[in-house]
Amino acid sequence: MEKKHIVIVGGGFAGLELIKQLRSDTNFRITLVDVNNYNFFPPLLYQVASGFMEPSAISYPFRKILRKAKNTSFRLGKLEKVIPEENRIILNNGELHYDILVMATGAETNYFGNANIEQNALPMKTISDALALRNLILTRVERATRLKTREERKKLLTFVIAGAGPTGVELSGIFAEMRKHILIKDYPELEEEDLGDIYLIDGQEAVLAAMSSNSQQYSKKKLEKLGVKVKLNVLVKDFDKETVTLSDGSTINSRNLIWAAGIYSRIFNGFEKEDSGRGRRMPTDACNRLKRYKNIFALGDTALVEGDPGYPDGHPQVAQPAIQQARNLGKNLQKPTGQAWQGFQYDDKGSMAIIGRNKAVADGPRNKFFLKGFIAWFVWVFVHIMSLVNFRNRIRALYNWIGYYIHKDQSFRMIIRPGDKK
């Protein structure tokens, strides 16, 4: 019997989990397609951006990950078009035919149509984004040592973070600790008053809006104690590289806007308008199958799964729904022909966010319990270490965290600007 060819576009949480489920099944031949040749762990991008982790601690090459998956091959390429009527996809470097297509393409930054912000702000979605931000921070501080007035230095070293979800909270917290424990030591030319301010801006009534009120209140209190200026019920409306303009008419003199305020799914040529729903996510049935196609599925951030009574508006765009959807799809694909498929239902594992050293929050499933402080910090560290793709990454991450915990410092503060020759 000829093996069915499964093409998985996207090697994030969902894509790799589906391969894990099917890698021993001789009925399938799998091709993983990704625009990068490595998998990376998005929840720790902020650690790379702030110089507390090296990129290799949270990333790993696909080809090495897939060595033991004998039915799986890797294709480096960018998806440009899907041709469903021909069971074919077009990449920037060729094409592939499939029997089953799985879209696990994740999400990208949503600037809500603001061209100035899109052009001038810094996103936080990829390793490249994190390295660009690290370079910018370090370059800004170096330049500040040469400026003559405090006003100029403060404008250059004031950072505005739009979006008070986990990424925004974690970035603002680690920036505040950096300012307190590192910059003042590394740059004796600067005084504490030169280091500018850190603003965390959000249009909702609380930080970490998706978490419990206990987590929200604790996080805001600890951020403000670290010196972060939290501004809620207000949106960032414009940014011209010199001034951040807010929706209440106020302005912040800053040359740095970090955008962590929203995401939406990617759209690809070949799909119809009705294949895209809320947040540009692809509406699927309860088994993650796109409604208009028999052999195309969507997983994770790009899927808007119907039929789960607890989540009528779609599942959270975080790691656990993606992993669980991939597991469910893997089991369904391996069922004998004619056997009924199991619809997906999300098992909420809870949520966490870190604020700084010894400062974190954790909510249990459906807010059944709440942890804060060192215990929540320890749980956060353990869960994130165990979520990394392999043992090598876990050891490196643990080493980094132990070093930071003891010394309140790390040494990955190099300005590296690679030149990409073609």
Residues contacting 148, CB < 8 A, separation 6+? none
User: Which ranges in the chain are annotated with CATH 3.50.50.60?
Assistant: 4-35+77-108+264-333
CA dihedral 36, 37, 41, 43 (to 10 degrees): -10
Q: DSSP character for 99? A: S
Tokens of 18: 């589906």
Q: Is the dihedral of CA 368, 316, 164, 235 positive or negative?
A: negative
- Give the N- to C-terminal CA distance of the chain in Å, as an integer: 43
Assigned CATH topology for domain 115-261+350-407: FAD/NAD(P)-binding domain (3.50.50)
Given a contact cutoff of 8 angstroms between Cβ atoms, the answer to whether 236 and 191 are in contact is no
Reported as a single tens digit per residue, the pLDDT across 120-130 is: 999 999 999 99
Q: How far is CA 79 from the centre of its chain?
A: 20
In 62-140, beta strands by DSSP E: 72-76, 79-83, 88-91, 94-97, 100-103, 107-109, 122-123
pLDDT at residue number 1: 65
| Right CATH for 4-35+77-108+264-333 from 1.10.600.10, 3.90.650.10, 3.40.50.880, 3.50.50.60 | 3.50.50.60
Residue owning tokens 């040592």: 145
Reported as a single tens digit per residue, the pLDDT across 20-48 is: 999 999 999 999 999 999 999 998 999 89
Measured between alpha carbons, how far is residue 79 from residues 6, 43, 62, 394 in Å? Answer: 15, 24, 17, 31
Residue whose C-alpha is closest to residue 234's, from 293, 163, 145, 174: 163
User: Which ranges in the chain are annotated with CATH 3.50.50.100?
Assistant: 115-261+350-407
pLDDT at residue number 405: 66
Given a contact cutoff of 8 angstroms between Cβ atoms, the answer to whether 109 and 262 are in contact is yes
Helix (H) or strand (E) holding 406: helix 391-407
Which amino acid would we find at residue 331?
Answer: K
- Distance of alpha carbon 37 from alpha carbon 317, whole angstroms: 23
Residues contacting 181, CB < 8 A, separation 6+? 408, 409
pLDDT at residue number 56: 87
Cβ-count burial 198-215 (b if 16+ within 10 Å, e if not): bbbbbbbebbbeebbeeb
Reported as a single tens digit per residue, the pLDDT across 404-420 is: 666 666 767 778 776 55
Give the angle subtended at the CA of 108 by the CAs of 65 and 214, to the nearest 5°. Answer: 95
Q: What is the mean pLDDT of each run of 10 residues along the chain (422 residues)?
A: 92 96 95 96 90 87 93 97 97 97 95 94 93 92 94 95 95 92 89 93 95 96 96 97 96 96 91 91 96 96 93 91 97 94 94 92 88 93 82 78 69 70 50
- Average pLDDT over the chain, rounded to an integer: 92
Which amino acid would we find at residue 153?
Answer: R
- Catalytic (active-site) positions: 170
